[in-house]
């Protein structure tokens, strides 16, 4: 009996793709944490003018994260159809 080859090259490509998405999402999350910190500092100082801009910037980062997740899902689909 001979087992199917796991096709390491294709799998390696997928892993590299997932790593790239992971790094991007991680950077976006760090940016969001920084924005949250700014919003909190401003709130503690009774300066509310930064609440909306930081929220909008954070929402943009979240949208990019969702887009990255979509790319990850398409990577998954690609892998399944390629089998």
Partner 1 sequence: MTEEHRIHWREDFPIGQEEDQYVTRREFTRFLALASGAVLIGNGYFVLRRKQQSEQAAEPVEIAGAASLQPGRALLFYYPTPSDPALLIRLQSGQYVAYRQRCTHLSCPVLYSEERNRLECPCHNGMFDAATGQVLAGPPPRPLPRIALHVEEGRVLATGVIGS
74 lies in the site for partner 1, by CB under 8 A:
no
82 lies in the site for partner 1, by CB under 8 A:
no
Contacts of 83 (CB under 8 A, 6+ apart): none
Contacts of 21 (CB under 8 A, 6+ apart): 68, 69, 71, 72, 75
Contact pick of 49, 77, 80, 81 for partner 1 (by CB under 8 A): 49
State the residues that interact with partner 1 by CB under 8 A: 1, 3, 6, 8, 11-12, 14-15, 18-19, 21-22, 25-26, 28-29, 32-33, 35-36, 39-40, 42-49, 51-52, 54-55, 58-59, 61-62, 65-66, 68-69, 72, 76
């Amino acid at each position: 009996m001979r087992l199917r080859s796991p096709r390491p090259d294709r799998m390696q490509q997928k892993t590299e793709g997932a790593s790239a998405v992971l790094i991007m999402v991680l950077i976006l999350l760090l940016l969001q944490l920084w924005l949250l910190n700014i919003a909190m500092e401003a709130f503690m100082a009774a300066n509310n003018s930064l609440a909306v801009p930081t929220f909008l910037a954070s929402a943009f980062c979240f949208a990019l994260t969702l887009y990255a997740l979509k790319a990850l899902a398409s990577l998954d689909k690609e892998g399944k159809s390629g089998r």
